[in-house]
Amino acid sequence: MNDCVFCRIVAGEAPATKVYEDDILCAFLDIRPIARGHMLVVPKQHATELEDLDAELGAYVFRAGHRLALAVRRSTLAADGANLLLNDGTAAFQTVPHVHLHVIPRKHGDKFRF
Ligand code: 5GP
Ligand code: ZN
């Protein structure tokens, strides 16, 4: 059994609410959301940190994040903006060792900032 929780989600072996999926990546809701609709975009191929990720694949992950950041404005979430965040490495407080891009919908009046 794969001990990477995001690989297990990708494989459908662990539960998650997937919001987008193609051959290359999937996006699912964060289990401890900072804001409603907080999502993680993950490449299907395991890469622990950006150092291990093909640059073209990294660009593809960001492209999906870009699209989702626009989609949350048009969706029922009615976001006014979004934070796109990637914690790369334990020094940057990455806690799950499989590259993931956070897409965090934001509303005017939200009280927290990064
Ligand atoms: P990091 O701190 O590594 O950038 O963020 C890891 C994120 O993964 C956290 O926001 C955390 O809530 C989320 N997370 C950790 N384990 C799981 C899980 O099993 N399922 C889902 N959906 N999210 C998870
Ligand atoms: Zn993995």
Q: What is the mean pLDDT of residues 29-44?
A: 98
Distance 76 CA to ligand 1 centre (A): 23
Distance 35 CA to ligand 2 centre (A): 24
DSSP string, 48-90: SSGGGS-HHHHHHHHHHHHHHHHHHHHSTT--SEEEEE---SG
Give the rounded percent of residues in the chain with a pLDDT score beyond 90.
95
- Active-site residue, selected from the candidate residues 66, 100, 102, 108: 100
Ligand nearest to the CA of 2: 2
Q: What would the pLDDT profile of 74-86 be if each residue is shown by its tens digit?
A: 999 999 999 999 9
Nearest CA to ligand 1 atom 19: 5
Instruction: Check pLDDT > 90 for residue 113.
Output: no
Length of the chain: 114
Instruction: Check pLDDT > 60 for residue 32.
Output: yes
Q: Quick one: which H or E segment has residue 9?
A: helix 5-10
Distance 98 CA to ligand 1 centre (A): 10
Q: Name residues contacting ligand 1 (CB within 6 A).
A: 5, 16, 28-32, 40, 87, 93-96
What pLDDT shows up at residue 78? 96
The answer to whether the CB of 34 falls within 8 A of the CB of 40 is no
Average pLDDT, the chain: 97
Higher-scoring residue by pLDDT: 43, 112: 43
Q: What would the pLDDT profile of 64-107 be if each residue is shown by its tens digit?
A: 999 999 999 999 999 999 999 999 999 999 999 999 999 999 99
66 assigned to active site:
no
pLDDT band at 36 (very low <50, low <70, confident <90, very high): very high
For residue 113 the two structure tokens come to: 């900032």
